[in-house]
Structure 1
Amino acid sequence: MFRASDFKCREVINLVTGERLGYVCDLEIDECSGQILAIVVPGRSKFGIFSKCEKVCIPWNCITKISCDIILVKICL
C-alpha cells in the first residue's frame, strides 16, 4: 500500500525513450472511487529554467513498474 506522499520520492523514467521525466509532483484522483487516474510530472520548458512549464499527466495504465525509488512508464511524448 502506498501513501500519496510516497510518490513524490520516486523518479519517473520513460521506457520508450529512456528519458528521465522528473519526480511526481501531483496525482489525479477520482473523487468518487478514490482511485488514482494519473501521475503528474513537471514538463520540460523550451525557454529556460525560470519560465513556467506545463505539467505532463501520465495515465495510470501507462505505468509498468513502481519500485522503491523509480516509476517506469511507457508513453510517447
Structure 2
Amino acid sequence: MRLSELSGKEIVDVKRAERLGVLGSTDLEINEGTGQIQALLIPSLKWFGFRKQGEEIRVPWHHIKKIGADMIIIDVPEED
C-alpha cells in the first residue's frame, strides 16, 4: 500500500468508538533502515490510553487492526 492511499482516512479507536484524527493531519514514524511504518503520531491535546509525547499520541503500527476504504481501525489495550 502506498502512503497516498492512506491519506485522508479517518483513524477510529474500536474500543472507545472515537474518531482520533485524519491521516492527512497525522505524522508517520518510519524505520529508516527498513522503510516500514513504526507508528502513527496523532496531534491531540486530550486523550488518554496512550503515552503522550508533547501534544502527540503515538499509536504503534501493530495496534492497527484494519485499513478500509475510508477508515483505519485501531485496537489499543486499556492501561490500568
Q: Shared fold (TM-score greater than 0.5)?
A: yes
Q: 1:44: how far off?
A: 3.3
Summarize deviations over 1:4-59 as a string: whole Å, max 9, x none: 2332311000011111101121111100011110112221349xxxxxx7111110
Using the aligned pairs only, state the percent identity: 36
- Equivalent residue pairs, number: 70
For structure 1, the 5+ residue unaligned runs are: 47-52
Return the TM-score normalized by structure 2: 0.74
**Aligned amino acid, residue 18 of structure 1:** A
SS in 1 for 2:62: helix
Q: Could you tell me how far apart the structure 1 residues matched to 2:6 and 2:45 are?
A: 20
**Runs of 4+ residues deviating >6 angstroms:** none
Which residue in 1 is equivalent to 2:11? 12
- CA radius of gyration, larger in: 1
Q: Could you tell me how far apart the structure 1 residues matched to 2:43 and 2:71 are?
A: 15
Q: Could you tell me how far apart the structure 1 residues matched to 2:40 and 2:33 are?
A: 18
State the Cα RMSD in Å: 2.0
Q: Could you tell me how far apart the structure 1 residues matched to 2:34 and 2:21 are?
A: 27
Q: Does 1:23 align with 2:22?
A: yes
Return the TM-score normalized by structure 1: 0.77
